[in-house]
Amino acid sequence: DAGVTQSPTHLIKTRGQQVTLRCSPKSGHDTVSWYQQALGQGPQFIFQYYEEEERQRGNFPDRFSGHQFPNYSSELNVNALLLGDSALYLCASSFRGAAAFYGYTFGSGTRLTVV
């Protein structure tokens, strides 16, 4: 039973560029959430996707956008990269009907470095 898969594992981009990160949820999960984790900090909620729509959004600018596909996989896009966007980006999946109890399964993350 595959867990949450994220790609790529590491990425280096130049300031001003755009980046796309990908996530495949755990089998049986239908909801995907994205988090940004700066070094030494806890994860910060970016947004959550369910039924191919953004359902909740954290305090992140419009440069951060996402998409969910019919197979429940998801992408996180970041435009006009800033040095401060350097972080570990975590994808977490859940089953919406029981997320409150079973919670999230996290992927190993994508380490984004902006230079």
Partner 1 sequence: KNQVEQSPQSLIILEGKNCTLQCNYTVSPFSNLRWYKQDTGRGPVSLTIMTFSENTKSNGRYTATLDADTKQSSLHITASQLSDSASYICVVSSTSGGSYIPTFGRGTSLIVHP
Least distance between partner 1 and beta carbon 41 (Å): 6
Q: For residues 35 and 72, which CB has a smaller minimum distance to partner 1 in the complex?
A: 35
Binding region for partner 1 (CB under 8 A) out of 13-21, 60-68, 74-82, 106-114? 106-114
φ, ψ of residue 101 to 5 degrees: the values are -100, -50
Q: For residues 4 and 78, which CB has a smaller minimum distance to partner 1 in the complex?
A: 4
Q: Is the bond into 61 cis (omega within 30 degrees of 0)?
A: no
* Window 1-40: contact mask with partner 1 (x via CB under 8 A): ---x------------------------------x----x
Asked if 86 interacts with partner 1 (CB under 8 A), we say no
Element (H, E) at 102: helix 99-102
Q: For residues 16 and 59, which CB has a smaller minimum distance to partner 1 in the complex?
A: 59
